[in-house]
Amino acid sequence: MNRAPVIAGLGITEMGKVYGRSAPEFAADAVRLAVTDAGLEPHQVDGLLTNTGITGDVGLSLQRDLGLRHLRLLSEVQAYGSSAGAMVQYAAMAVSSGMADVVACVFADAPLKDKSTGGGAAYAGAGGALTGWQGMAAASGIYSANTMYALAASRHMQTYGTTSEQLGHIAVAQRAWAARNPLAQMRTPITLEDHQSSRWIAEPFHLLDCCLVSNGGVAVIVTSADRAADLAQPAVHIRGWGQAHPGYVMGKDSEFGLVSGAALSGPTALKMAGITIADIDVAELYDCYTYTALISLEDYGFCAKGEGGPFVASGVLGPEGSLAVNTGGGQLSSYYMWGMTPLSEAVIQARGQGGDRQARRNDMVLVSGNGGVLDHHSTLILSPHAR
Residues in the site for other proteins, rule: CB under 8 A?
126, 129-133, 135-142, 146-147, 150-152, 154-155, 158, 199-205, 249-252, 254, 256-257
Taking the CB of residue 251, how many other CB atoms lie within 10 A of it? Answer: 7
Asked if residues 368 and 85 have their Cβ atoms less than 8 Å apart, the reply is yes
Residue 259 beta carbon to other proteins: minimum distance, rounded to whole angstroms: 14
Q: How far is the CB of 337 from other proteins (least distance, A)?
A: 26
Report how far apart, in Å, the C-alpha atoms of 35 and of each of 50, 103, 232 are.
15, 10, 10
C-alpha 189: how far from chain center: 22
- Cα 77–chain centre separation: 15
Distance of CA 210 to the CA centre of its chain: 14
Kindly state the smallest distance separating residue 120's Cβ from other proteins, in Å. Answer: 11
Contact 48, 22 (CB under 8 A): no
In angstroms, give the least distance from the CB of 127 to other proteins: 11
**Cβ–Cβ contacts within 10 Å for residue 336, how many?**
26
The neighbour count for residue 246, using CB atoms within 10 Å, is 19
Contact 48, 68 (CB under 8 A): yes
- The answer to whether 377 and 260 are in contact (CB under 8 A) is yes
Whichever of 74 and 137 has its CB closer to other proteins, that residue is: 137
Least distance in angstroms from the C-beta of 317 to other proteins: 25
CA dist list (Å): 292 to 9, 261, 299, 369: 28, 11, 11, 10
Q: Residues 90, 143, 248, 286: which is the catalytic one?
A: 286
How many residues appear in the chain? 387
Q: Least distance in Å: CB of 145 to other proteins?
A: 12
Chain-centroid distance of CA 135 in Å reads 28
Q: In what order do the strands lie in the sheet with 376-383?
A: 73-76, 47-52, 103-109, 216-224, 5-12, 236-244, 376-383, 365-371, 282-284, 324-325
CB of 134 to other proteins, least distance (A): 9
Residue 143 bears catalytic tag: no
Alpha-carbon distance of 377 to 269, in angstroms, equals 12
- CB closer to other proteins out of 1 and 250: 250
Phi, psi dihedral angles at 47 (to 5 degrees) = -145, 145
CB of 49 to other proteins, least distance (A): 30
**φ and ψ of 61, to 5 deg:** -70, -10
- CB nearer other proteins, residue 256 or residue 286: 256
Q: Of 54, 311, 332, 32, which Cα lies nearest the Cα of 198?
A: 332
DSSP 67: T
Residue 286 is a catalytic residue: yes
The amino acid sitting at 319 is P
Please identify every residue annotated as catalytic. 286, 336
